[in-house]
Structure 1
Amino acid sequence: MMMIKAVLLDLDNTLLRNPQQAFTAEYLRLLDEFFYSRHFQQQVSRVILNAVRTLIAQKPIKLSNTDFMLTRLAGALDTPITELRTLFDEFYRFVYPTLRRCTEQIPGVAALYEYLMREDYMVAIATNPLYPAEAIRQRLEWAGLPGDLTAYEFVSHSDNMHFIKPQPEYYAEVVARVGIEPDEAVMVGDDVVNDMIPAGQLGIRTFQVFDGRSNKWSTRADAAGHLRDFHKSAAQYGWLDIPLPYRLNPAMIETELRGNLGALYGLISEVQPHYWDQHPDPAEWSIMQIVCHLLESEINVQRPRLETILQTDNPFLVSPRAPAGPEAENCAADGYAVVEEFETERQKTIAFLQQIPTEAWNRPARHSVFGNTTFLEMAYFTAQHDRLHVNQLCQTLGNCS
């Protein structure tokens, strides 16, 4: 049982009143109008809606949501991606701001943000990443919050995310980017399907915001009320300080292993070519060495350990030898290729786990460090190992120059 370190805040109809049906219709109308004025005859909104429908089923993990959408649009509109990026940048700078008239501020939002920051909680904006960073920045300002995305621990948007709501992998990706464990976070949102259920499946504590207009109370949340009730519960009643039991279940594992991949791809997209081999701290690994370690561990430690537990009755597991230090040679010359190879190996691990019968998840083992354990706990440790090094990569990247 862990204390809450991070508060994940949904945006629309949690921090900003935004009637989604009316807002989306007006957004698509303005988008079509804008592209028509640029001599596009095809209805862009229709292409975008079709692309959104295929995001869950067809998008490779390595592509950000923006990259996937632009690839689909480029093919449908016979227009280079670079030109589309320029057009969308113009649309979001000059046309999108007019949508503010469709929204309304919610009382108490700024006070809640200030309280959470004052109490040293990590504050992340966990909005459905269907819009780019500029759109989210503007909507945060409309809500009366800082528009500077660096004012938050993390802000999800289509440029930096690889899953969408209601995929539980979305929450696994956010947790990995924030640098915490699932039971160290609380998700505050209005939508049962998009927020409460998938976050809860990952073991994240949930608070459903009830505005009395667009949603109904749900028993799928750990607590519910108006946004001011969440603020009051945290500030006066210490709700965030009350530990809740965290129960592992097999369904969490694949979700986290896939979400962690998304977080890794999101981070390496920010790596400049000359960053890969830098050692901002001489005693620490470079980014290249971190991704090499993830690959080597997946092949030589993580999956083989699970196979041993499955094949041997109550095996004794010895901790692997300590990996080489920062003086070690790189495993390859191309860091991005290493991450792609890691994804290939990770998919093998996931395929292996998908074949595990229900009763096998409780198979026992003994570990030289952790003591008595199970297949499930060791599978979860693989996900934790990911997050440890994703966080390490994030810190290293922040110190590169």
Structure 2
Amino acid sequence: MKKAILFDLDGTLLPMDTDRFIKNYMRELAKKVAHIVDPEEFSKALWAGTSAMIKNRDDSITNEQVFEESFLPLIKLEKQAIWPTLDEFYANTFPTLSHLSSPTPIAKQVIEAALKQGYKVAVATNPVFPKVAIYERIKWAGLDDSVFSHITVYENSYFTKPHPQYYQHISNQLQVNPENCIMVGNDKQEDMAASAIGMKTYLVEDWLIDRGESLYNIDGQGTLAHLYEQLVNRSGLFK
């Protein structure tokens, strides 16, 4: 029997149009810091910092540190000159973006069913956001963050999707071998990459992201509702 289920967040447990969300998020964040740094320069630096996290292969430095080392020199500011404003944004403005998501009660039902059947559960969202932003989106999904054995955020992660090291790190944190884990996500490339280290994969089709031909195994697929039925009935990947 599989012992842990890793769940992607955006587009999986939290239905949303990710591109629309990112566009609005970037616009609001750039507006918030406009009195400190030119919004266009800020946006370029933010993307550069994100790209640096995605490319990183150094397991001695967190995604947070990688981001800061790339981002701050580009905006030519010390951390203390801009971080209080960013913190204020995440505390007060970011929650107002919840309207860009479409929460479903099935997400909570899925998590409750997994826990009832003895699985460890983890939120395996791409850790390019700070903890406060990811935990806020977990709240949007109608979920209690305390039930998860691990949640990937940029403060506690060293890699990003689709790198195998990202999934191996979660496996290590859960103390469950990869072959006893199931990765559930809506991204055919980034989430199904978990199969590269032996995890089983389930592709959620509701808000499917497919960038082209997949190189990874897909062991099961269907809607989140279909996944719930399989989980409750202990069928498919959940036998």
TM-score calculated relative to the size of structure 2: 0.91
Q: Are 1:202 and 2:197 matched, yes or no? A: yes
CA–CA distance in structure 1, aligned partners of residues 58 and 209 of structure 2: 33
How many residue pairs align between the two structures?
A: 235
The structure, 1 or 2, with the larger RCO (C-alpha pairs under 8 Å, 6+ apart) is 2
Is this contact kept in 1: 2:131–2:153, CA < 8 A? yes
Give the CA deviation at 1:58.
4.8
Is this contact kept in 1: 2:220–2:236, CA < 8 A? no
Structure 1 58/14 Cα, relative in aligned 2: closer, same or farther at 3 Å? closer
Is this contact kept in 2: 1:65–1:129, CA < 8 A? yes
Is this contact kept in 1: 2:127–2:153, CA < 8 A? yes
Please tell me the residue identity of whatever aligns with 1:201.
A
CA–CA distance in structure 1, aligned partners of residues 109 and 149 of structure 2: 18
Helix, strand or coil: the match of 2:71?
Answer: helix
Name the counterpart of 1:235.
232
Alignment deviations for residues 265-296 of structure 1 (CA, whole Å, 9 cap, x no partner): xxxxxxxxxxxxxxxxxxxxxxxxxxxxxxxx
Please tell me the residue identity of whatever aligns with 2:190.
N
Give the CA deviation at 1:240.
4.5
Name the counterpart of 1:158.
154
Please tell me the residue identity of whatever aligns with 1:16.
L
Please tell me the residue identity of whatever aligns with 1:69.
F
Give the CA deviation at 1:81.
2.4
Q: Percent identity?
A: 28
Please tell me the residue identity of whatever aligns with 1:200.
S
Summarize the alignment of residues 324-339 of structure 1 with structure 2, pairs less than 5 Å apart: none
Structure 1 203/59 Cα, relative in aligned 2: closer, same or farther at 3 Å? closer
Please tell me the residue identity of whatever aligns with 1:60.
D
Structure 1 47/5 Cα, relative in aligned 2: closer, same or farther at 3 Å? same
Give the CA deviation at 1:144.
1.1
Name the counterpart of 2:23.
25
Gaps of 5+ in 1: 243-401
Helix, strand or coil: the match of 1:123?
Answer: strand
Give the counterpart of 1:96 among 94, 97, 110: 94
Give the counterpart of 2:13 among 1, 12, 15: 15
Helix, strand or coil: the match of 1:135?
Answer: helix
Name the counterpart of 1:279.
none
CA–CA distance in structure 2, aligned partners of residues 220 and 60 of structure 1: 26
Q: Are 1:189 and 2:175 matched, yes or no? A: no
Helix, strand or coil: the match of 1:36?
Answer: coil
TM-score calculated relative to the size of structure 1: 0.55
Give the CA deviation at 1:63.
1.6
Summarize the alignment of residues 88-127 of structure 1 with structure 2, pairs less than 5 Å apart: 88-127=86-125
Give the CA deviation at 1:206.
0.5
Gaps of 5+ in 2: none
Helix, strand or coil: the match of 2:221?
Answer: strand
Helix, strand or coil: the match of 1:188?
Answer: strand
Compare CA radii of gyration and give the structure with the larger one. 1
Q: Provide the alpha-carbon RMSD of the alignment.
A: 2.0
Is this contact kept in 1: 2:184–2:203, CA < 8 A? yes
CA–CA distance in structure 2, aligned partners of residues 117 and 157 of structure 1: 22
Structure 1 110/56 Cα, relative in aligned 2: closer, same or farther at 3 Å? closer
Alignment deviations for residues 378-397 of structure 1 (CA, whole Å, 9 cap, x no partner): xxxxxxxxxxxxxxxxxxxx
Structure 1 58/232 Cα, relative in aligned 2: closer, same or farther at 3 Å? closer
Structure 1 222/59 Cα, relative in aligned 2: closer, same or farther at 3 Å? closer
Give the CA deviation at 1:75.
1.3
